[in-house]
A and B are shown apart, each in its own frame.
Chain A
Amino acid sequence: MTTVELTHISKTFGPVKAVDDLTLSVEKGEFFGLLGPNGAGKTTCIRILLDIFKPDSGTVSIMGGPMTEEKKNRIGYMPEERGLYQDLPLERVLIYLASLKGLSKAETISRMGYYLERFDLAQYKKKKVKELSKGMQQKAQIISTIIHQPELLIIDEPFSGLDPINTQMVKDLLHDLHRQGTTIIMSTHQMYQVEQLCERILLINHGKAVLYGNLNDIRRQFSGNALLVRSPEPLPPLPGILSAEPVNGGQRLNLAPETSPQEILRELVRQDVHVDQFEVAMPTLDEIFIRVVRDQERVADAGSRPSDGAAAAAETRSMQSPS
């Protein structure tokens, strides 16, 4: 079942086209990553799906139809810039925000106790929000987002301002929620976070979809023909290798087009080379993003030169677009 479906939505603010013909769908129970650099249009996209903004064109379906007041109770949203009442005690803020999601005071207090303990905030519940550290406020914001146990969780840059321990704490929480069946849409520009958490992604730039689909499929698609091999000893000369470059204590081996990873593995075994790590070298999302954006720029440049148009189009065929 599709929880969120945006179809060809566009949104313009004055001269700025914040979202340009974007299409995406998020299935129930999915952990979806909305990626892109700062200013790419992620937050506008989220605000459109949350019915804060109306799109200039296109349709939005959330939980099977347009947004309703009842559906708002089933959604948890954590904006990029945190929004808690600074001059009120933490406990009161959480109770109020939960009550706006339809949760009773008794139920809120019961759940709040669990989450405050889990996030080491129990002793600060009587403190005013402004008296808490940035990291504590961030955790409090996360609690306010999930305390009503939303079916759909939309989180914008959830790890900003968190130290590694708290980052892991939040990741564990997101994993738990995902296991419990919560549909999660995470918007971030930190692509490595997405690699660890998300199943499918939409990568946008300048409001347009750049990449869309299963994360592993995308990485495989952009992996090229290369291996990552780590060995305690220098690698011997191997056939079918075009070049080798050191990567994180190992070697990235760029293979000739006709050479397969299995052939290299057989050769290493035959030569009795001690191997600590052997894997197909997958590009990071950062690398994929940079590559795709550069390709787009080249297409744009080529588009201005008519004779190069066909070649440019051929170059971008590898880009999987949702629309």
Chain B
Amino acid sequence: MNKMWTVFKHEYTRHVLRKRFLFALLSVPAWIAVMFLVIFISVLLQFDNTPAGFVDYAGVIVERSIPLLGDEEAEDDLFPDREFLPFSDEESARAALEREEINAYFVLPADYRETLNARLVYNGDEPPSSLRSQFSRLLRYNLLRGQDETVVERVMSGPELVIESTGEGRQMADGEWINIAAPIAAGIFLIVSVFTSSGYLMQAVVEEKENRTMEILATSLSPMQIMSGKVLALISVGLTQAFVWGIVPVIGIVLAGSAGLFPDGMVVNWGRIALVLITGLPTFVIMAAVMATIGATITESNEGQQVSGLVSMIVMSPFMLISLIMFNPNGALATFMSFFPLTACLTLLLRLAFGTVPGWQVYISTAILIFSSVGSLWLAGKVFRMGMLNYGKAMGWKDIASAAFSRREAEVRTSPHKETAS
């Protein structure tokens, strides 16, 4: 087996089996699951299905339940609609209320059709708003009785509102909120995955330098094999993390959707998912290469935190400037950030969430990202060879530039540590 894959396998299992990684990996979905559970339990506890009553002096309500209209699907039995019980007069309804057989009752006076005034009577706590909306719906259905079936469906389902901006040609329908939330969520997952996993890589490289394992590696395989194996492992660690973090919300959404907690009309935008992958993977590679380079150029792990913190700030900057991107998704700043390798992925995702991005910009940005990822790997390989055995002193910018652009094979030019020269 190619030694690069040996390094890959070792690095991947080493990071994935770390306690802190497993904790981080499982804590997010566990937190999401707990949140869903808490919401579900609280909804369940607050759910009041006690029947309500009505006194219909106007003779409006003939049907006490609404049949399924058009393409409506049957609700599950977890949260069934409440039942409305008819009463011939207010006295019997009040008596039922006092016996707590119903929690409220509506009174439709004889002149209801003219005045459209109705009364709600309850005892104790005010009934939930869902009671009123359910009764209104029932009332609306009965008032429409005798109308054409299509008209009934239209009126009952309400308007499908499409919000359209004349400036950007951007439109968003109800239920497409997921297209705003998803890129932001994907961006957050991506960033957290990149940071945590590339942090592991930097830490691992520094540790190998600190405990001199790097010398053993350097005499067993080439720096490029070491580098490639590590970067591939890092990407896989990040993808594992993103997969686990991503799959749980998806399961949650599916479950929630089936439980009727989400509105209909959620559309999966596969193009956008493809864009997340196409821009996210090179971003991963760039970050991995950057972090491995930092790891190779420093001598102690805490030195790397400052530099990696700066890189993290740059990568996170689209989130910091989200208001600018939101109000002007095709402005100069947003466009520039779409072409800058460290910010391109997130900026594109955010711009697509709040507007449209010209196709040529997406292509150029993707091309820049892919070229940058290859370039950063090449640079990292050269600097890695130079820095991996440089124990005594962190490399400066001059040393890094020398490693990258020297025609000779990269080698240590900084002041040698005592072992280096011994």
Contact = CB atoms under 8 A, between A and B. Distances in A.
Interface of A is mostly: loop
A203 interface: no
A54 B414 contact: no
Contacts of A183: none
A96 B10 contact: yes
A83 B216 contact: yes
Nearest to A67: B219
Given A54-B408, A84-B211, A18 B219 contact: no
Given A14-B416, A38-B418, A53-B411, A88 B218 contact: no
A222 interface: no
Interface string B216-230: 111111100000000
Contacts, number: 99
A98 B221 CA distance: 12
Contacts of B207: 85-86
Contact of A44 (B222, B413, B420): B420
A88 B204 CA distance: 12
Interface string A202-220: 0000000000000000000
A158 to B, nearest CB: 15
Interface string A76-96: 010111111110100000001
Interface in B371-422: 389, 408-409, 411-416, 418-422
A15 to B, nearest CB: 8
Contacts of A53: 411-412
Contact of B389 (A38, A47, A84, A101): A47
B422 A41 contact: yes
A1 interface: no
Contacts of A13: 412-416, 420-421
Given A43-B419, A44-B420, A72-B219, A88 B211 contact: no
B221 A69 contact: yes
Given A54-B408, A97-B220, A88 B215 contact: no
In this complex, the interface size class of chain A, counting residues with CB under 8 Å from chain B, is 35 or more
Nearest to B1: A99
A73 B2 CA distance: 13
Interface string A124-168: 000000000000000000001000000000000000000000000
Contacts of A69: 3, 221-222
A18 B413 CA distance: 12
B211 A54 contact: no
Residue among B211, B214, B222, B408 with max Cβ neighbours from chain A (10 Å): B211
Nearest to A73: B220
A43 B213 contact: no
B212 interface: yes
Nearest to A78: B216
Interface of A: 13-14, 16, 18, 38-44, 47, 50, 52-54, 69, 72-73, 75, 77, 79-86, 88, 96-97, 99-102, 144
Given A40-B422, A86-B211, 9 more contacts: A39-B421, A52-B389, A54-B408, A69-B3, A82-B211, A83-B208, A83-B214, A88-B14, A100-B7
